[in-house]
Amino acid sequence: MQVKRRCFERARSMRVGAVAATFTVVINALVAQTLTWLGTSDNQASIARGVSADGTVVIGTTYSPYDEPFAYRWTAVGGIKFLGSLPGAPSYNVARGVSADGLVIVGWAESPTRTNRAFRWTVSGGMQDLGTLGGLSSFAHAVSSDGRVVVGAAQNPSGHNRAFRWTASGGMQDLGTLGGNHSWAFGVSADGSVVVGRSDTADGFGRAFRWTAQGGMQNIDTIGGLSSVSVSVSANGNVVVGWARNRDQNRRAFRWTAATGMQELGTLGGNESHAYGVSADGNIVVGWASDANGRAHAFRWTASRGMEDLNRVYSQLLTDGSELWSAEAISPDGRYIVGNGYNAATRRMEAFLLDTKPAGDVTNDGCVNDTDLLTVLFNFGRER
């Protein structure tokens, strides 16, 4: 946001004669970024895990006072709406991923036999059980942009969890491991061709992986420690983010490419950080990081600005002690960020939707500048 602030300050320096009296009103309209608390739908807490490309749909989970999970789909018009359940099963379920258009949601739900099953939910068809790899349970963590490819983890006949890639035509495909017994898939590229996650190695350590049909499962290493996890991947599959242990065995957010390897993204003054989401072009990363007091704060990272505390960047949107604790996902264009925090007005942990784009960026160049201001002022004068 520093770049946008500089653009804004340049615009403020202008003086436009006869319309100077309207200047403050127009400026306030130009920078109307918004923070929306999504509520809990009478439950104790909520968290947001995904957002549609246009920011109109948010998905996640609410929790009862007894820690019972209920998957939801939120829209500005309808608020939180629960997804229901698998046929004959309780309504306990978790939502983890959403398609670009907001019409397909994936996660896991309790089955009639009281085991967890990966599901794919659609507006028209409801909740579909995706099955397992021969074992009892399965979990879906992410879905491709068009909603056709689902990835997650499922038990095989030996009871080992294996990363899977599911399609309607091919069913559930076991992606293998890096030599150990278990693997989990947590992210998938826009077209479903690249899968990322974590796998056990032959020596018993968990390592971040990147999978393709051509190359299979690739170990993308660590940042000096013993373990790592890939959580999300850019639209084209070339940028991977997650967390890894460093030489001091502290968990640190990372950004990986084939050219640069695993790059540590730092913290907000504390010891640990996790990356959970990445923009389509791979240039913006979000997650949480600890500050000097050990408190978790939502962050946004870019190469030019490094790691920014969203509580500081958007302090004007936080009132009465509200805080943003973790950024869980970001829209493909980087505009919308969702996660969870503390809503001081309700005194609850709540899901949030943050719109980071200034409303007055009418030229769509990433900042509010003279051109945007003149356009608004000119139109204001004409309308009067």
CA distances from 277 to 6, 65, 241, 337 (A): 26, 28, 7, 9
pLDDT digits (tens, 9 = 90+) for 191-250: 999 999 999 999 989 999 999 999 999 999 999 999 999 999 999 999 999 999 999 999
> Please, are residues 313 and 327 in contact by the beta-carbon 8 Å criterion?
no
- Pull the structure tokens for residue 309: 């505390």
Q: Which residue has the higher pLDDT, 90 or 162?
A: 162
Query: Is the pTM here over 0.85, yes or no?
Result: yes
Q: Which residue pairs, CB below 8 angstroms and at least 24 apart, start in 177-183?
A: 177/217, 178/202, 178/207, 178/209, 178/217, 178/219, 179/203, 180/204, 183/153, 183/209, 183/217
Range scoring the smallest mean pLDDT among 38-52, 91-105, 184-198, 360-374: 360-374
Q: How many residues does the chain have?
A: 384
Mean pLDDT of 353-382: 61
Q: Exposure string (b/e) for 18-35, b if CB count within 10 Å is 16 or more?
A: eeeeebeebbeebbebeb
pLDDT digits (tens, 9 = 90+) for 51-72: 999 999 999 999 999 999 999 9
Percent of the chain predicted with pLDDT > 70: 85
pLDDT, averaged across the chain: 90
Q: What is the pLDDT, as a whole number, of residue 3?
A: 38
Residue 152: count other Cβ atoms within 10 Å of its Cβ.
Answer: 31
Q: What is the pLDDT, as a whole number, of residue 32?
A: 76
Residue type (1 letter), 212: T
Q: Which residue has the higher pLDDT, 65 or 371?
A: 65
Residue range(s) in the chain whose domain bears CATH number 2.120.10.30? 35-369
Full DSSP string of 91-143: S-EEEEEE-TTS-EEEEEEE-TTS-EEEEEEETTTEEEE---SSSS-EEEEEE
Q: What is the pLDDT, as a whole number, of residue 382?
A: 43
- Cite the DSSP H helix spans in the chain: 2-12, 23-30, 310-313, 370-383
Q: Which residue has the higher pLDDT, 314 or 359?
A: 314
CATH classification of 35-369, choosing from 3.40.50.10490, 1.10.1740.10, 3.40.50.2000, 2.120.10.30?
2.120.10.30
